Amino acid sequence: MDVSKFEQWLKEGVGRAKEGPIGSIFDSAVGTVVDGFMYVQNYTKDHADSVIHSDAVQRNEFELCLLILAAEVVRAEHPVRPEEVKYIRNFFIQNFGKKNIESRMDFLNTILEKEFSVRKIALQIKKIKSHAIRLQLVHFMFAIAEADGDISPKETNVIQLISSHLGISNKDYKSIHAMFIGSTAIASVDMNTYYTILEVDSKASDEEVKKAYRRMAKKFHPDRVSTLGEDVQKAAQVKFQKLLEAYEMVKKERGIAQ
């Protein structure tokens, strides 16, 4: 592999993802140590902390984690088809632009050929990434699975398993999954879907529905992933918009005043 394609990751570093099982995958995919690679372990503690928490490194961590999880999602359907990799490529271009796309796809193709414990990967992500960022990873996994026009039961099962290892509650998982119902051929949308997105029972009072929306709006707000860049924040807006749509539909059905 041409490691020069990984100039951004090699110069800026990948933070805490350089350690543990994710670091092993990265080292194996990129190859041996090259000049200029920022090994966080080689820094003093104060400098290491500043590197780890820089926005650039946070973004690199996020992309690296997303690519590994995306590989596991597409591998749910064996064998992996070239068009599925193309869908991921298009997804990354649509959400993150064309910059560094070749190196990201080279990395994806490499890790698709490797065996790894998704449980260990997810547990490391749980340790190093915030809850809001992990929620966004789950949303992106569904978006990637949907890229071919359908989310298969096998892909759903893989995403649910990964979500549980990420420390995502079943309610949060179901809420995000429900956001994709009706957007493809999964099923037609009914009112129960909107209640699932809001994480509230259909028999709840109007006041409970309002409280649920406020709680979910805080949890899913795009500003909670702002450190990852404007493009990720913009993509997170899609999740937030689905929440708002669900709330508007429930208010309309119940006749709740604005």
- Domain harbouring 257, CATH code: 1.10.287
The whole-number pLDDT of residue 211 equals 96
Q: Which whole-number Å values give the CA distances from 211 to 89, 217, 247, 252, in the listed order?
A: 39, 10, 11, 16
Domain boundary, last residue among 168, 195, 211: 168
Query: Among residues 146, 168, 190, which one ends one of the domains?
Result: 168
Both 96 and 218 in a single domain? no
What is the pLDDT at residue 189? 73
Asked which of 168, 202, 226 is the last residue of a domain, the reply is: 168
Identify the domain containing residue 36 by its residue range.
1-168
What phi and psi, each to the nearest 5 degrees, are found at residue 221? -65, 135
pLDDT of residue 38: 43
147 and 176, same domain (yes or no): no
Asked whether the beta carbons of 221 and 240 are under 8 A apart, the reply is yes
**Residue carrying structure tokens 């596991």:** 72
Residue 39 has what pLDDT?
A: 43
Is 210 in the same domain as 156? no
Mean pLDDT by 10 residues, the chain (258 residues): 64 80 85 45 44 75 92 87 83 84 87 91 95 96 86 94 98 96 60 95 94 96 92 91 94 85
Q: CA-to-CA distance for 172 and 147, rounded, in angstroms?
A: 21
Angle at 166 between CA 191 and CA 225, to 5 degrees: 75
**229, amino acid identity:** G
Q: How far apart (Å, rounded) are the C-alpha atoms in residues 8 and 192?
A: 45
63 and 157 assigned to the same domain: yes
Name the domain count of the chain. 2
Tell whether 78 and 162 lie within a shared domain. yes
Q: Are residues 156 and 191 in the same domain?
A: no
Tokens 């998982």 identify what position? 173
Contact between 64 and 9 under an 8 Å Cβ cutoff? The reply is yes
pLDDT of 48 reads 47
79 phi and psi angles, rounded to 5 deg = -75, 165
